Amino acid sequence: MQPLGIISGTVFLQGQAHFKELHEETVKTIFGEALVLRSPEVVFIPRHGQDPQRHILPHLINHGANLQAMKDLGVREIIGIHSTGSLKRRLKPGMLVVPDDYLMPTPGPTVVGDRPLHIVPVLDEPVRQKWLAAAREAAGKVIDGGIYWQTTGPRLETRAEIAMMSRFADLVGMTMASEAIVAQELGLPFASLCSVDNFAHGLVEKELSMEKILATVRRNTETIARILTCYLERNLR
């Protein structure tokens, strides 16, 4: 069976269940090099790298190399895990969302070049349904659907920006739309599980800080690892 592709930022998988046998390698592609952790079952790319001292900022990620490496290694589908800020008070930190659409008003990455290729951007519905099924089995609650707004980063958004975004979207982040676009250009099914790690700047009165965001990320990590294990077990049967 073809391996499952996983792209994540902060969820560390090595040593957990199906991820014990991951070994690190550098894959050279036509778009550059990609750091990959792989086993017969999984091809995992940590989008921000493995070294905390050399954290790859969102606007510097080589999405073309990452997604092309997935394609070259023969993955059957890609599931992304994305840390997000909530644009709606009903979406509280700690919740999980499987979005069904996205907004990216700024120019994004592309691997099309000068080829006459036109796509209708979508998140893959069969993969979305697999995410939902695994999340419901492993964690109980997950929100089905929502709109993700991608900013360029690396800074967080102003209060004015959040006030405007909240009229049109539910979540804000810096990577998911880029990965979805390039995956679709390469013919790879892709969908995302979003971890709500904070209320976006100005949505509530409490001051936003990276320390608070990372604290929620750490709390969500164990839940997401359970969901990933469930996803694999359900789809390796």
Q: DSSP string covering 176-200, please?
A: HHHHHHHHHHTT--EEEEEEEEEEP
58 CB neighbour count, 10 Å cutoff: 18
DSSP 3-state assignment of 56?
coil
Query: Strand pairing of 143-144 and 96-98?
Result: parallel
- Kindly list the structural domains of the chain, giving each domain's residue range(s) and its CATH number in brackets, ordered by start: 4-235 (3.40.50.1580)
Nearest to 68 by CA among 7, 116, 10, 16: 7
End-to-end CA distance of the chain: 11
User: Can you give the pLDDT of all 237 residues of the chain as single tens digits?
Assistant: 799 999 998 555 555 656 777 889 999 999 999 999 999 889 999 998 887 778 899 999 999 999 999 999 999 999 999 999 999 999 999 899 999 999 999 988 999 877 767 777 899 999 999 999 999 999 888 999 999 999 998 888 999 999 999 999 999 999 999 999 999 999 999 999 999 988 988 887 776 666 666 666 777 888 888 899 899 888 876
Between the alpha carbon of residue 168 and those of residues 65, 123, 148, 162, the distances in Å are: 31, 18, 9, 10
pLDDT at 210: 65
CA 230 – CA 236 distance, rounded (Å): 10
pLDDT at 220: 80
Asked whether the CA dihedral 220, 13, 78, 154 is positive or negative, the reply is positive
Question: Residue 78 in contact with residue 47, Cβ under 8 Å?
Answer: no
Side-chain-facing half-sphere of 205: CA atoms under 13 Å = 0
CA 146 – CA 229 distance, rounded (Å): 24
pLDDT at 13: 59
